[in-house]
Amino acid sequence: MHAAGQVRIVGGAWRRRLLPVASGPGVPAGLRPTPDRVRETLFNWLGQDLGGWHCVDLCAGTGALGLEAASRGAASVLLLEQHAALVRQLRDLKTLLNAGTVQVRQGDALAVLRELARRPASIDLLLLDPPFDADWYAPALEAARPVVRDGGYLYLEAGREWTDEELAGLGWQRWRYLKAGQVHAHLLQPV
């Protein structure tokens, strides 16, 4: 068990490492780190070793998902976050962990997806965990399709289950699914 205001890296080089979660002015009220159990399940699905993988964590928030990928050997991890207070926290965590494969960037998730889509698809794992009340899930899923390479994965965390029909219409198929409390965790692959 760990204290409120902390997240624990579940596996890899930084396994069991407790990291602080930003709070206070400038931090969004709905900040919701992905639960340990859900992260553990996700990385069990993907395999423990992400050596050579290129990952993007959109709406990085606490950085729990992206830092978990880096801990498991990902070749590169982009932590993208819109809120300045969280970007500062992510940069501090990158320094604390001496995470040379991690890049922290402030920006808008949809704009970055469109930017990445102008390049050949090269992302092995795209992590999409926006606030549950976000109204841009569908545009993000559509914009993400040309970013993820064939055989790659998109992790979608949402406040509801996305149907196979909805996902197929946006270019995705469900590979795995888990409901844990209010979290609906989907692991998708390109159609």
Coil, helix or strand at residue 131: coil
Q: In whole numbers, what is the pLDDT of the chain averaged over residues?
A: 91
Res. 21: pLDDT tops 80: no
Res. 28: pLDDT tops 70: no
- Amino acid, single-letter form, for residue 48: Q
Domain coordinates of the chain in residue numbers? 6-190
The whole-number pLDDT of residue 133 equals: 78
The whole-number pLDDT of residue 26 equals: 62
CA distance 117 to 144: 7
Q: Long-range contacts of range 14-17, CB-CB < 8 Å, 24 or more positions apart?
A: 14/67, 14/70, 14/71, 14/97, 15/71, 17/71, 17/97
- pLDDT for 130-183, tens place per residue? 887 778 899 999 999 999 999 999 999 999 999 999 999 999 999 999 999 999
Strand segments, DSSP code E, in 25-147 are 54-58, 76-81, 102-106, 123-128
- pLDDT for 73-94, tens place per residue? 999 999 999 999 999 999 999 9
61: Cβ–Cβ under 8 A, 6 or more apart, which residues?
31, 32, 33, 81, 86, 129
CA 60, distance to chain mean position in Å, is 6
More confident residue, 21 or 71: 71
**Domain 6-190, CATH number (from 3.40.50.1980, 3.40.50.150, 3.40.630.10, 1.10.10.10):** 3.40.50.150
- pLDDT for 43-55, tens place per residue? 999 998 999 999 9
**Residue whose pair of structure tokens reads 């729990």 in the numeric block:** 64
Residue 83: DSSP 8-state: -
